[in-house]
Structure formats: structure tokens, C-alpha cells
Amino acid sequence: MATNKVIVLVAPTGGMAFKSQNPYLPTQPDEIARDVYDCYNAGASIVAVHARRPDDEATCNADIYRNINEMIRAKCDIVINNSTGGGVHGDMVRQIDGGMWDTVWEERLKGMEAGAEMCTLDACTFVASFGGREVLLNTSSSRCQFLAEEMRKRGIKPEWEVFSPTHIVQDATTLIQMGLDEPPYVFNLVMNAHRGFQNAMPYNPKSLQFMVDLLPRDSIFCVSGIGPAQLPAGVNSLLLGGQIIRVGLEDNLYYRQGQLARNVELVERTVRILREMDYDVATPAEARQIMGLPRNDTWARPYFSVA
């Protein structure tokens, strides 16, 4: 595989924003599938899917995920990555003692049950501040291990989602060394979420370089640059050897200051930049080859067959 192949990943929805913030945000299965197909035609080869209930609140309901996945797969062969983080409202949270809110662990597990080739594995614990609530995402060491083991049983490739250096060197690397993933290891470095996520890292080139330097050998990575960091963090990641560039309304609702974005516009701009930098845009088949899909360290097979 040529080293100048870059995978474009689109994250169209996420588990936080609402249509009131950007009316172009796709939240229902038909909207998501149409949006993903447009992004696929523009050059995206992975989609990071978050599910929403009919009222647009966050969920990991396996039936909703499965509906989204099947509608996408009926249109194209883009790589599907379902979330096991879920979101900060809807089915994903419940109030606990002291006025705080907790992300519901049992709901998060449902994200693995809809047949995606990949799932996010949030190898981290933090408190998110959103809508006047403080929401705990408790992914303790034992929970990280459980997620990794269950993904392995199902033939799901984990995308290790990390917000700080400790998430890399403690949680993710420990499980990788236990043999719960095989190379290449796929990482998503979430940066510039520090104003809403406790212990997250701001984006700047030095911080990104530091986190990249901590990645296990044989890793490939992208950056979730939150808000205005999306474009510079994405380009910076390419200069540091990243083979995946991530865009989408999950991370950034704007095309530029004051101009709301559509997912396809963000993908189109990214593809233009890649071509100006003499990179080749990977097809879904090439993306699978780069990332080692289908996963072959287990007897299980992905729900969707790929020719």
C-alpha cells in the first residue's frame, strides 16, 4: 500500500450537538444515511456513527444503530464505526447522588451489537460539562478491558479514543500489550475539548507531537480537533505521519467563523487539501487494508461481509 494514501473519516452527528445549533446536523437514520452517502461520494472512506432517538436525544440502542448501518450499507461500502461512548443526554445518562449525572454503562455496551466493523473504545474516565450538567464517563481499567475483550469476540476493530497522554500510556497500551488488539492500532486523539472535558488536552502543535510520540509502535492515528482546531489539527496530523484525517459536525459545527457547515462541505475541503499536498485519498477497500480489516485475531466475523 502506497505510503501517501490517506483515509478521510467523517463524523456526521456525535452525541452532543442538536439541530438547534446547526440545522444541517443529521440525526435520524435516513438523514444520516443520505449524508454519509454524499460524504462517501466526496471521498470519505470511514464513518463514525452516533445514534439518536426519534426526539434527537443520544442513544446506543442496537436496533437504531442496526437500522442506520443497514441503510448506509445499502448505499455504499464505507467502513462503519459505531460509538460505545454514546453521548451526554438521552438514554446515555442518568442522575446519581450529589446532583451529578452518570453515563449509563449498560447502554454503552449496546453500541457493539449492531454489526459494525469498528467501534470506538473510550480508554478514559472524565467528567464532561454540558448543558449545565456534569456528566461522568466512567471507563475504569476493568471496563476498558471488558470492552476490548468483547470487541475481540465479535471481530470488531477498536478505535482507541484518548483525550490525554495518560489514556495512551496507561489504558490503551496496557490492553494492547495484553494482546487484545493487533496491529495496526487505530487511535483517535481528541484535542481542544479541554473546556468541556476534564483532563482533556488543548490543541497546539507541541501537545499533538507529544501525544503522537507516546503512541505504541505500529499505530495509525487521526485527531478530533474540536471546534476551530479541526482544520489545523487535521493538517498537522498529516505532517506527523497520520494516515487518517477526521472531519465532521460531531467535532465542529462551522465551516469558518460565522458560517455553519454541512458534512459534505467539510469532506470536500479536506479532499482538496489532500490533493494539493500530493496525497492520494484512500478508497474504503484501501482503508480496510491500511487498518487491517476484517480483524483476523479472532474467530468472529464482521456482521457485514465485504467482497
CATH of the domain at 175: 3.20.20.70
Alpha-carbon distance of 67 to 69, in angstroms, equals 5
* pLDDT score of 297: 61
Which grid coordinates are listed for 211? Answer: 501525544
Q: Is the pLDDT of residue 307 over 50?
A: no
Please name every residue paired with 228 in a beta bridge, in sequence order, or none if there are none.
none
- Answer for the pair 271, 39: CB distance below 8 angstroms, yes or no: no
How many structural domains is the chain composed of? Answer: 1
Listed residue (232, 187, 191) closest to 9, CA to CA: 187
Backbone CA torsion sign across 10, 291, 183, 231: negative
Confidence bin at 296 (pLDDT 50/70/90): low
Confidence bin at 97 (pLDDT 50/70/90): confident
User: Across residues 95-100, what is the average pLDDT?
Assistant: 88
pTM of the model: 0.94
* pLDDT score of 99: 84
Alpha-carbon distance of 30 to 45, in angstroms, equals 19
Q: How many CA atoms lie within 13 A of 96 on its CB side?
A: 12
User: Across residues 18-34, what is the average pLDDT?
Assistant: 98
Is 75 contained in some domain?
yes
Alpha-carbon distance of 294 to 282, in angstroms, equals 16
Give the model confidence (pLDDT) of 203-262 as tens digits: 999 999 999 999 999 999 999 999 999 999 999 999 999 999 999 999 999 999 999 999
Is 299 contained in some domain?
no
Is 193 contained in some domain?
yes
Is 307 contained in some domain?
no
Structural domain boundaries enclosing 158: 5-291
Give the model confidence (pLDDT) of 114-165 as tens digits: 999 999 999 999 999 998 999 999 999 999 999 999 999 999 999 999 999 9
Give the model confidence (pLDDT) of 166-195 as tens digits: 999 999 999 999 999 999 999 999 999 999
Is 298 contained in some domain?
no
User: Across residues 75-97, what is the average pLDDT?
Assistant: 96
* pLDDT score of 303: 36
